[in-house]
């Protein structure tokens, strides 16, 4: 078993939670993948206004970084493995550049899902957590909450659906001299079924109904990676706005440039727990969204007709 020093941590390359590591085995993204959104693009200001950056401090004073999303003025959603066995968190909000956030909030209020075993940490099925913020964060052009997948669509098969995943990290592998990116990056991925995902991870007991898996969209290098954990996987919903259908959790020990899919936790499975922790209801009905979209389209059509009525009649005198 080899011991590797990587990004300030020592890892045993050979076993994760007692299971042999192979190219087809799930691996803790923060330990075993290169740190970046791979083969993606830099985000523009306000493009992904729910994205946050979370810096975590452990008992020994070590610091590492994850992603997360604003879901309310005082709440952020992230991955459980990002906050497990860590005690202080610095959340940067309203940013595409890490050096210029609109808000910086320090908090120690973490809530890990009860089925996730914190002392073990690492790759687990219910890899989801909430951070309570110590101040009220107002919304604006660069800060907006992300709508969570609702409970009625929690088990939808997203095979072939185009996703967007975003986060921060290295611009290239460490061995190639890559440096940490200050700019938020994003990339498209394509959904695959859990049955297909299990063909890539045949010995995994982690891929369950709470899991979404996604592969590259049109370039096998496209993926989420270390530093992206806890960040949002979104779709464009019927109203043209993003809905978070996954929280970045794990990928393959083969590396993020490999064609192996990455895995995400479906927030639609956890609405009862969200309500218990926050006192807020993040669930919603798909029919309400469709009705709202229909109403907006009708209003737009009426506005368009009114604009046409108000326009002066233009006559082409050459056609008499």
Q: Where are the domains of the chain?
A: 2-278
CATH number for 2-278: choose from 2.40.10.120, 3.60.15.10, 2.40.30.20, 3.40.640.10: 2.40.10.120
Task: Identify the top-confidence range among 7-21, 141-155, 210-224, 252-266.
Answer: 141-155
The residues annotated with a catalytic role in the active site are 81, 127, 229
**Two structure tokens written together for 175:** 């061995």
The answer to pTM > 0.85 is: no
d(CA 14, CA 204): 16
Task: Identify the top-confidence range among 1-10, 45-54, 294-303.
Answer: 45-54
Residues 6+ apart with CB under 8 A from 54: 65, 66, 67, 68, 76, 78, 82, 83, 89, 90, 91, 92, 131, 230
70: which strand partners? 76
Q: Compute the C-alpha angle 224/226/229, nearest 5°.
A: 70
Q: How far is CA 53 from CA 18, 103, 118, 222, 311, in A?
A: 31, 11, 21, 21, 49
pLDDT score recorded for residue 59: 77
Backbone angles phi, psi at 309, to 5 degrees: -65, -35
Query: For residues 10, 15, 18 and 22, what is the CA-based torsion angle, rounded to 10 degrees?
Result: 150
- Which tops the pLDDT comparison, 316 or 70? 70
140: which strand partners? 143
pLDDT exceeds 80 at position 1: no
DSSP, collapsed to helix, strand or coil, labels residue 188 as strand
Backbone angles phi, psi at 6, to 5 degrees: -145, 120
Of the ranges 186-190, 255-259, 291-295, which one carries the lowest mean pLDDT score? 291-295
Q: Environment class of residue 177 by beta-carbon count within 10 Å: exposed (0-12), middle (13-18) or buried (19+)?
A: exposed
**Two structure tokens written together for 148:** 């969570």
């Amino acid at each position: 078993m080899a011991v590797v020093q990587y990004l300030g941590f020592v890892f045993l390359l050979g076993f994760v939670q007692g299971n042999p590591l192979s190219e087809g085995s799930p691996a803790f993204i923060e330990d075993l993948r290169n740190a970046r959104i791979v083969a993606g693009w830099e985000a523009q200001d306000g493009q992904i206004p729910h994205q946050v950056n979370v810096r975590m401090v452990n008992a020994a004073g070590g610091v590492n970084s994850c992603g997360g999303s604003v879901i309310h003025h005082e709440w952020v959603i992230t991955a459980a493995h990002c906050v497990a066995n860590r005690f202080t968190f610095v959340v940067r909000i309203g940013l595409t550049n890490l050096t210029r956030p609109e808000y910086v909030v320090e908090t120690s209020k973490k809530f890990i899902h009860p089925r996730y075993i914190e002392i073990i940490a690492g790759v687990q099925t219910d890899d989801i957590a909430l951070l309570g913020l110590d101040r009220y964060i107002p919304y604006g052009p660069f800060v907006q909450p992300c709508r969570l997948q609702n409970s009625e669509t929690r088990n939808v098969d997203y095979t072939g659906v185009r996703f967007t995943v975003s986060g921060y990290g290295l611009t290239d592998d460490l061995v190639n001299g890559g440096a940490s990116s200050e700019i938020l990056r994003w990339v498209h991925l394509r959904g695959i079924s859990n049955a297909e995902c299990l063909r890539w991870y045949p010995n995994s007991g982690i891929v369950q109904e709470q899991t979404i898996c996604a592969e590259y969209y049109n370039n096998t290098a496209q993926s989420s990676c270390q530093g992206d954990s806890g960040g949002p996987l979104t779709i464009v919903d019927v109203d043209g706005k993003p809905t978070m259908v996954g929280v970045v959790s794990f990928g393959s020990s083969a590396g993020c440039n490999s064609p192996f899919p990455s895995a995400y936790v479906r927030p639609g499975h956890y609405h009862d727990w969200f309500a218990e922790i926050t006192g807020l209801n993040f669930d919603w009905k798909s029919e309400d969204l469709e009705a709202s979209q229909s109403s907006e389209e009708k209003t737009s059509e009426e506005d368009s007709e009114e604009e046409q009525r108000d326009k002066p009649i233009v006559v082409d005198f050459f056609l008499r």
